[in-house]
Amino acid sequence: MAEEVIQSIYDNPSKLAAFFGAKKNHKVLQNSGVQKPGIHKIRRWLQKQDDYSLQKPARRRFTRAKVVVSDINEQWDVDLADMQSLSKENGARYLLVAIDIFSRFARVYPLKNKTGKEVAKGLEQMFQSAQPKKIRSDAGSEFKNAYVKNLFKSRNIYHHIALNEVKANYIERLNKTLKVLIWRFLARKRTKRYTDILPKLVESYNSTPHRSINNVAPKDVNENNSADIWAYMYLKPRKQSKQSALKSLKNTINKAKTLYRYKIGQLVRLSHQRKPFTRVYNEQWTYEVFKISRRFQMQSIPLYRVVDLLGEEVLGNWYQAEIQPIDRHENALWEIQKVLKTRMINNKTQCLVKWTGYSDKFNSWVDKSEVKNL
């Protein structure tokens, strides 16, 4: 009965709150004098609806674990800045950009292309002045190739690939700052050539006091002041009123009580903001369903690991905002993209089907009697 009431509103485009979320539907029901079903039942019903869970807006901003480093050149973030629009005047299509996370010291090297060989050459040039213990990059092929892999191996550098949407956030901010400086110069000088002055722009950036490291310039960070800078970055007290401090303490206690929102074994969809999974209807969440395999904390932030429905682990840790629980009962229908071929087994016709939103490894044989046209 409750599900019929919810469906009568949700499925009817002429009704208020049709195809909206739980809060809107609950409010419409209350305003019409219907007190039941409650909002929790509405949420559970919506978790069973593919169209709702696939198109539910995905959060982009939420608390993430911080990268904590202890010294200069412990970790660099690297990325490519796309400068193809100015390649004719400068002979460089990309800029290889690196930033030391501790000192915020920047290094930039122009590249003719983004082949592995060219990127490895640029990195080798950067390593002439300094070398990090670890390097973090995105999962682009420019960093995942034999040339770069061999370079890191020969220099005993650990390569970490950032799989989440925010990627290496320090390098993203540096890229933005660098491009702003370049375009301001070009607009000021009425030119399209920047490579001649690029070293000066980078030197200017490294000589400018940086707020995040206690207003010290990146080039001035050294062994003598590194301990003070580390304390400023990770131990600096926040100014809070007594009321604000009490509120923060209360929130911390409440969070500890409800740290994990989802259970191991729970079925979930993953955010498309995070990773380019196969899309079907321009959905915000994966059509493919996954299962939570593990949960743990990092800096008091809950994180999850997931596996696909064949038990294969999906790389990366997932924040709560990047997963969405769904409800799949035993009689739930799974959408078929197409029937690949048929066969006869024991006088029964079977179909080899490709499932919508799933890779070919999930293709499977099902009895034709179980295939329904909707």
Among residues 352, 284, 374, the alpha carbon closest in space to that of 324 is found at 284
> Does 129 have pLDDT greater than 90?
yes
- 251: helix, strand or coil: helix
Q: What confidence score (pLDDT) does residue 216 get?
A: 93
Count of beta carbons in the 10 Å neighbourhood of residue 221: 22
DSSP-H helix ranges across the chain: 2-10, 22-31, 39-47, 50-55, 87-90, 116-126, 146-154, 169-189, 198-207, 226-235, 242-257
Would the pTM count as exceeding 0.75? Answer: no
- What's the pLDDT score for residue 67? 76
Which residues have a Cβ under 8 Å from the Cβ of 61 and sit 6 or more positions away? none
Which amino acid is present at 248?
A: S
Amino acid present at 136? R
Cα separation, 301 vs 274, whole angstroms: 18
CA distance 359 to 128: 44
Topology, domain 75-221: Nucleotidyltransferase; domain 5 (3.30.420)
89-103, 180-194, 273-287: lowest mean pLDDT where?
273-287
Binned at pLDDT 50, 70 and 90, residue 255 comes out as low
Per the model's pLDDT, the better-predicted residue between 147 and 296 turns out to be 147
Mean pLDDT of 229-253: 65
| Domain ranges within the chain, ordered by starting residue | 2-47, 75-221, 267-325, 336-370
The predicted structure's pLDDT at residue 239: 54
Work out the number of other CB atoms within 10 angstroms of the CB of residue 288: 19
Task: Please check the confidence at residue 313 and state whether its pLDDT lies above 70.
Answer: yes
Indicate if the pLDDT at residue 238 is higher than 80.
Answer: no
Question: What's the mean pLDDT in 136-154?
Answer: 93
Arithmetic mean of pLDDT, 12-26: 65
In whole angstroms, give the CA distance from residue 126 to residue 80.
Answer: 14
CA 49 to chain centroid, in Å, comes to 25
